Structure 1
Amino acid sequence: MIETIIHRYKNKSFLIAYSGGLDSTVLLYQILKIKKKIPQIKIRAIHINHNLTCHSKKWVQHCEKTCIKHQIPLIIENIYIDLNEKNIEEKLRIKRYNVIYKHLLFDDVLLTGHHMNDQCETFFLSLKRGSGPTGLSGMSLETMFGSKKIIRPFLNITKKTLLLWAYHKNLNWIEDFSNSNINYDRNFIRQKIIPIFEERWPFFLKNCLRTIKICQEETELLTNFLNKMIHGLIKFDGSLNIITFKNMKKELATALIRHWISLKKIKAPSYKNIQSIYYQMIFSRKDANPKIILKNNEIRRYKKSLYLIEAQPNFTNRFLFWHNINLPLTLPNNLGYLEEDNNGIILPKPKNNELINIRFQYEGKILILGRNQKRKIKKIWQEKNIPPWLRNKIPLLFYNNIFIGALGVFIIKIDNINKETWTIAWKNNLLSNHRYIFSFY
């Protein structure tokens, strides 16, 4: 299997996740064996020191020694975590993969030593969490890792097989004694659960793998179906049109919502969160402004569409004074800056004794240019198709306490104001102010 993979990607370079343990050691030596036949392949290794035990430095030295011996460039990175935190295994995994991703070059393929036992342990962890077919699908042999590819060539091989190969080749590897600590869920499954199943049913691991493959096939079929169906529901701005969801079977509607969120490349929401999104977004009042928080993101509804936006701090009560108009005024939270610019918005100029200030909230009725009647500012925002979560991110210009306008949206009609004008440009990236940097969960 591994030689087939290397032949298929021989024009690329390979980054090996090298812990120094049995699995990654066998992976490293098998790649070296193949390199003798295909000398042009490029190999690098990366070792992540978790700094969890006093043996960590010795493990780093072992990996350095091995890589120097075989002339393999080695990257060493350190990660740290508070041992009093919950879900240490999960948090370390996230940190580890995010660090690895930063070191992947343009044409790199990441290789890991995950094997059949790891796959079955992952399956049990997913059962414990109450996962559906997608979660029970476990790890794939090949999958995308952000914009890169991750390949796990040993997924169909048992740990026992790797162990026999390592003994046969007289390999040296690290024994991580923390793997016997059953306080960690994966270790508990590895040490206490799977051995009992294997003793009773010797073919349990292979049957477990077959179940995982069935789940993978079912998930792939569902994904293909949802891809076709959702194509006509996603709007140009990435929002999800939910106008027909009330008349749709709940199972289909929630599957579409979950699939739409998965396309945003964020951590999959829980079953409970999906149910909350369904009921609050589909069935709440038309004039409601529902919000579901998903860690660093929010699901919002606006005009019969769902939006996934990055959560932003609230600064509605913040005032900014622009004392020197010859210098740009930086706005908070990466909203850009204001500067006097001939290509900007034409506005009445402030009088010498007026303080220019920027706010992000206003309540009440206003009269904007081009109208002869006051309207609530909320109605003006709606007319201008400004979603609620963007309204308190638009700079509101004031001279002293006089509201002058919402920059780029409207100007207030005011009598007895300075007839002289000036131009202000708001230079920002508000509509596309989302993180597109890959983050592994």
Structure 2
Amino acid sequence: MSSEQTFLAMLLENVAAQLSGFQRVLVAYSGGLDSSVLLHMLYQLMQQRPELAVRAVYVHHGLSAQADRWAQHCVHTCQQWGIPCSVLPVRVDARERGVEAAARDVRYQALRTHLLPEEVLLTAQHLDDQSETFLLALKRGSGPAGLSAMGATGQLGQNLLKRPLLGVSRAQLEDYAHHYRLTWVEDESNRDDRYDRNFLRLQVLPLLKQRWPSFPDAVARSARLCAEQEQLLDELLAASLHSACNAEGALAVDALLPLSELHRFALLRRWLREREVTMPSREQLLRLWQDVALSCQDAEPLLHLGAVQIRRFRQRLYCVVTRASVVSLVLPWQPELGALKLPQQLGTLMLADQGTRIRRPRPDEQVSVRFGLKGKLHIVGRSGGRCAKKLWQECGVPPWKREQVPLLYYNEQPIAAIGVFVMRDGDVQDDATAWQVAWSMA
């Protein structure tokens, strides 16, 4: 066996070792050099391990006139190798964070929704990508968490994410691709050094590697050291963070008050990371603490961090996903025919053995689901009437959730706020004819 063949075999063995014990993988396949090499390695492993189930997915950003052709290339290559391939169109909104960050966010969101349970996501970042990520974090003034750059293993929602090529240079990937005569697409935007990552790749890293050939390996070591420091802090702070959060994951402001600023911010960063929030700058952390956590008691403060809002309610901080308003919707429902999936990822309603107990509708009553309760209401267990705002407050429902709680109506009469309270008109008089409505967010 030649030295080249030995080296290529070692590359494949390294990837195989990282995937030992996994049987279902999804490859993020762009059609470029890196992901083409990774997918071909998986194709070879499938010959050795027939139980290995591999899928590929091309995320169609629509940013290039060539994107349709690239998608066709990916599908055709996968057909040749007997690998199922899906094309996921996404829309990139670059108004807030720029094209690079926005494209990355929607790409990972699409991949997350496409993953199957217990499937491992594989991405093809390599050693040179690690240097770029490290330098970008350095440019932003990031601390150890940002300088940890990319780990070989991570999480995407409930699924494992692995980067099996992180220790391999781009030159080595090129050698592999040429040896196996792979074809790949070239994204013309990769030559545009107006983008920060491209500027580093095209202008900066070649100079650094010319002066210090081992620079990418040194960066990788520094990133690993930063990651180890972060992991140690995670272990040391895990217990105090857990004790400061309630069952909903809301963080108690009072638990943070006696801490030093360094300690407080370390906990806040880990709380945000657990909720998959893009790591904020120090200035944003200061605003979170001063403008949200410490605002006056009767305020309803909020801070936008990417796609989420940080809000405070009853001396706890909440991480709230931004959703479009649903207050104008009227959703007809026939409960006995099946569950009702609510819009804006607000969960599902269904009849169940447990849930909000209400009377069944009369034959002349049509069932519907609505949102945004207002006016004076009379509910079961309370004397007299109360305005909706007062009821929400008494029941401990935060302001941003009040327009998201599904309301069951019979004709034009509100019957229940599911999971919260029942109107007198929905009270159960005969247990034999009662319904129990469950609201599941799963």
Report the TM-score range of the alignment, normalised by the length of the smaller protein.
0.7 to 0.9
Q: 2-side partners of 1:120 and 1:68: how far apart?
A: 34
Q: Deviations over 1:48-104 (max 9, x none)?
A: 3444444444434443443333x3224141535579856222222233333333443
Matched ranges for 1:274-423 at <5 A: 274-311=285-322, 360-361=373-374, 382-390=393-401
Matched ranges for 1:95-244 at <5 A: 95-244=106-255
Give the superposition deviation at 1:119. 1.0
Is 1:79 equivalent to 2:92 in the alignment? no
Q: 2-side partners of 1:169 and 1:390: how far apart?
A: 55
More helix by share: 2
Q: Which residue of 2 aligns with 1:31?
A: 42
Q: Which residue of 2 aligns with 1:44?
A: 55
Do the aligned partners of 2:208 and 2:215 also contact (CA within 8 Å) in 1? Answer: yes
**Alignment partner of 1:93 out of 96, 104, 114:** 104
Q: 1-side partners of 2:67 and 2:386: how far apart?
A: 66
Q: Which amino acid in structure 1 is aligned with residue 136 of structure 2?
A: L
Q: Which moved more, 1:200-209 or 1:370-379?
A: 370-379
Tell me how large the CA RMSD over aligned residues is. 4.7
Name the CA shift for 1:84/1:32 in 2 (closer, same or farther; >3 Å).
Answer: closer
Q: Which amino acid in structure 2 is aligned with residue 139 of structure 1?
A: M
Question: Which of the two has higher C-alpha Rg?
Answer: 1
Q: 2-side partners of 1:218 and 1:200: how far apart?
A: 29
Q: Which amino acid in structure 1 is aligned with residue 16 of structure 2?
A: I
Q: 2-side partners of 1:178 and 1:270: how far apart?
A: 28
Name the CA shift for 1:17/1:72 in 2 (closer, same or farther; >3 Å).
Answer: farther
Q: Which amino acid in structure 1 is aligned with residue 24 of structure 2?
A: S
Do the aligned partners of 2:153 and 2:160 also contact (CA within 8 Å) in 1? Answer: yes
Do the aligned partners of 1:245 and 1:282 also contact (CA within 8 Å) in 2? Answer: no
Secondary structure of the residue aligned to 2:243 is coil
Give the superposition deviation at 1:394. 8.8
Q: Which amino acid in structure 1 is aligned with residue 57 of structure 2?
A: I
Do the aligned partners of 1:49 and 1:56 also contact (CA within 8 Å) in 2? Answer: yes
Q: Deviations over 1:241-283 (max 9, x none)?
A: 2223222111211222222232223433443332222113443
Secondary structure of the residue aligned to 1:14 is strand
Q: Which residue of 2 aligns with 1:256?
A: 267
Give the superposition deviation at 1:335. 9.8
Name the CA shift for 1:288/1:139 in 2 (closer, same or farther; >3 Å).
Answer: same
Q: 2-side partners of 1:58 and 1:90: how far apart?
A: 24
Q: Deviations over 1:338-377 (max 9, x none)?
A: xxxxx8579xxxxxxxxxx9973459xx999999999998
Q: 2-side partners of 1:164 and 1:155: how far apart?
A: 16
Secondary structure of the residue aligned to 1:231 is helix
Stretches of structure 2 lacking an aligned partner (at least 5 in a row): 1-10, 333-339, 350-355, 360-369
Do the aligned partners of 2:379 and 2:421 also contact (CA within 8 Å) in 1? Answer: no
Secondary structure of the residue aligned to 1:268 is coil
Q: Which residue of 1 aligns with 2:6?
A: none
Secondary structure of the residue aligned to 2:249 is coil
RCO comparison, higher one (Cα < 8 Å, 6+): 1
Q: Which amino acid in structure 2 is aligned with residue 162 of structure 1?
A: L
Q: 1-side partners of 2:125 and 2:272: how far apart?
A: 28
TM-score, normalization by structure 1: 0.73
Name the CA shift for 1:83/1:148 in 2 (closer, same or farther; >3 Å).
Answer: closer
Q: 1-side partners of 2:93 and 2:231: how far apart?
A: 38
Q: Which residue of 2 aligns with 1:3?
A: 13
Q: Deviations over 1:152-202 (max 9, x none)?
A: 111111111222233344433333333111122211111011112222222
Q: Identity percentage over the alignment?
A: 31
Name the CA shift for 1:175/1:146 in 2 (closer, same or farther; >3 Å).
Answer: same
Q: Which residue of 1 aligns with 2:7?
A: none
Q: Deviations over 1:219-254 (max 9, x none)?
A: 111111221211211123322222232221112112
Give the superposition deviation at 1:214. 1.2
Count how many residue pairs are aligned between Structure 1 and Structure 2. Answer: 408
Give the superposition deviation at 1:124. 1.9
Do the aligned partners of 1:17 and 1:24 also contact (CA within 8 Å) in 2? Answer: yes
